[in-house]
């Protein structure tokens, strides 16, 4: 399989992705001497941590990666890769199958981590110094106290091939790949409510006759962006929530009716090309449109729903069939 085909296959597995624009807006923190824990301290950090009384499990693979890279500094590549296979791949083959591939694929990719230019070397000390477990606890607590729903599933946190920053692999499995995102505390705090919304909303998709359609995707992303915007409590704009800059947001508002009209003919589609048309940052729904215009349309749909049904009514959307949400929102793109 060619590299591009591997990327395409992985992209097809990623059911949703976090907005990625913020990654360019926040400069990557640099490592400061003395922040990296010693091997003894690292060894005592648990790899798997339960959050929210066990409904969410964090699999902190970056801690294993850190331990190996520190432990094996200066050792031959073959030896380091063997340990990575044994301790990072072998205990979690089903996760790797959903993201990177089988053991052979892992062995081909793993030496990339040893490249001195790989971001792992600058970002690991910063990530290890963050209290990431606490950030997850806080985000889950916010989600539960705000919506009454508790996210469930597993999060794999690691330095991987960097094909997404945060995203879902299905079956409640999520990942955060710090090869593709700086370990910035404020950025993580901003992104988690978006992803946790997907985790609580995903449950509704199973019973929704429109599950998996373009309309579902538009609403799911819009709802996740809306939740992130509510969480930001006035500190962020709607444009930030959908990963647009202000100019793109203004353009989308000016062309909202045309955007919504362009989406009409594909709302019921489950074709990958059609969902990409509304959710991929590199695709334009109409000429001149910012990428991922579906995030904007979904956000506007939720705004319309809330304008009619009250500020907290977005919580009920989490369990409502999307066709009903659209009808009750009265959204027409105008
Ligand atoms: Zn999303």
Of the candidates 175, 197, 219, which is a domain's last residue?
Answer: 197
217 and 169 in a common domain: no
213 and 124 in a common domain: no
* 17 CA from centroid of ligand 1 (Å): 5
Residue 100 lies inside a defined structural domain of this protein: yes
Give distance in angstroms: CA of 126 to centre of ligand 1: 25
Look at residue 238 and tell me if it is in a domain: yes
The answer to whether residue 202 is domain-embedded is no
pLDDT at residue number 32 = 37
- Ligand 1 centroid–CA 202 distance in Å is 11
Q: Which residues of the chain have pLDDT under 70?
A: 1-37
The rounded Å distance from CA 18 to ligand 1 centre is: 5
CA 26 to chain centre: 17
Q: Does residue 186 sit in the same domain as residue 213?
A: no
Residue 32 Cα, ligand 1 centroid: separation in angstroms? 32
Q: Are residues 228 and 317 in the same domain?
A: yes
Examine residue 183 and state whether it is found in any structural domain, yes or no. yes
- The Å distance, Cα 63 to ligand 1 centre, comes to 26
Distance 247 CA to ligand 1 centre (A): 21
Q: Are both 258 and 168 inside the same structural domain?
A: no
Give the distance (Å) from ligand 1 centre to CA of residue 226: 11
181 alpha carbon to ligand 1 midpoint, in Å?
15
For residue 193, the CA-to-ligand 1 centroid distance in Å is 10
Q: Are residues 233 and 320 in the same domain?
A: yes
pLDDT of residue 42: 79
The pLDDT, as a whole number, for residue 1 is 35
225-264 CB burial, b ≥16 within 10 A, e <16: bbbbbbbbeeeeebbbbbbbeeebbebbeebbebbbebbe
> Where is the domain boundary, 148, 177, 197?
197
How crowded is the C-beta side of 107, counted as CA atoms within 13 Å? 8
| Domain identity same for 179 and 32 | yes
Same domain, residue pair 46 and 147:
yes
298 Cα: distance to centroid of ligand 1 (angstroms): 11
**Is the domain of 140 the same as that of 260?**
no
**Ligand 1 centroid vs 88 CA: distance in angstroms?**
27
Is 233 domain-assigned?
A: yes
Task: Measure 223 CA to ligand 1 centroid, in angstroms.
Answer: 9
**What pLDDT is stored for residue 36 in this prediction?**
58
Q: Within this chain, do residues 126 and 246 fall inside the same structural domain, yes or no? A: no
pLDDT of residue 38: 74
Claim to verify: residue 266 and residue 148 sit in the same structural domain: no
- Tell me how far the alpha carbon of residue 51 lies from the centroid of ligand 1, in angstroms: 21
CA of 191 to the centre of ligand 1 (A): 9
The reply to whether 156 and 237 lie within a common domain is no
Residue at 334 is within a domain:
no
Q: Are strands 56-60 and 153-158 parallel, antiparallel or unpaired?
A: parallel
Q: What residue numbers bound the domain in which 302 lies?
A: 208-329
Distance 40 CA to ligand 1 centre (A): 37
CA distance 164 to 302: 26
Distance from Cα 83 to the centre of ligand 1, integer Å: 34
Cα gap 311→319, rounded to integer Å = 17
Domains identified in the chain, total number: 2
- The Å distance, Cα 245 to ligand 1 centre, comes to 17
State the sign of the Cα–Cα–Cα–Cα dihedral 108, 109, 111, 117: positive
Instruction: Single out the residue in 155, 176, 197 at which a domain terminates.
Output: 197
How far is ligand 1, taken at its centre, from the CA of residue 74, in Å? 40
């Amino acid at each position: 399989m060619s590299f591009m085909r591997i990327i395409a296959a992985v992209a097809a597995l990623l059911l949703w992705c976090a907005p990625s624009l913020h990654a360019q807006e926040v400069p990557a923190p640099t490592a400061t001497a003395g922040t990296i824990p010693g091997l003894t301290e690292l060894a005592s950090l648990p790899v798997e941590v339960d959050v929210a009384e066990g409904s969410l499990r964090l699999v902190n693979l970056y801690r294993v990666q850190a331990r190996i890279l520190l432990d094996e500094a200066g050792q031959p590549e073959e030896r380091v890769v063997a340990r990575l296979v044994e301790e990072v791949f072998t205990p979690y083959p089903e996760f790797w199958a959903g993201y990177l591939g089988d053991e052979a694929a892992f062995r081909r990719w793993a030496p990339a981590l040893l490249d001195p230019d790989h971001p792992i070397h600058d970002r690991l000390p910063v990530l290890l110094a963050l209290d990431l477990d606490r950030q997850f606890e806080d985000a889950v607590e916010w989600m539960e106290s705000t919506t009454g729903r508790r996210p469930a599933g597993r999060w794999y946190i690691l330095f991987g091939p960097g094909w997404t920053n945060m995203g879902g692999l299905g079956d409640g499995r999520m990942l955060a790949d710090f090869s593709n995102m700086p370990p910035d505390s404020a950025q993580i705090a901003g992104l988690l409510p978006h992803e946790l919304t997907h985790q609580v909303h995903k449950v509704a998709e199973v019973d929704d006759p429109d599950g998996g359609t373009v309309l579902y995707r538009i609403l799911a992303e819009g709802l996740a962006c809306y939740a992130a915007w509510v969480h930001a409590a006035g500190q962020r704009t709607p444009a930030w929530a959908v990963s647009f800059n202000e100019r793109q947001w203004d353009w989308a508002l000016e062309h909202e009716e045309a955007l919504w009209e362009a989406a009409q003919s594909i709302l019921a589609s489950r074709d990958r090309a059609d969902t990409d048309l509304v959710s991929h940052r590199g695709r334009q729904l109409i000429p001149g449109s910012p990428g991922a215009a579906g995030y904007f349309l979904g956000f506007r749909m939720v705004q319309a729903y809330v304008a009619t049904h009250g500020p907290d009514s977005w919580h009920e959307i989490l369990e409502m069939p999307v066709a009903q949400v659209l009808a009750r929102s009265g959204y027409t793109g105008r």
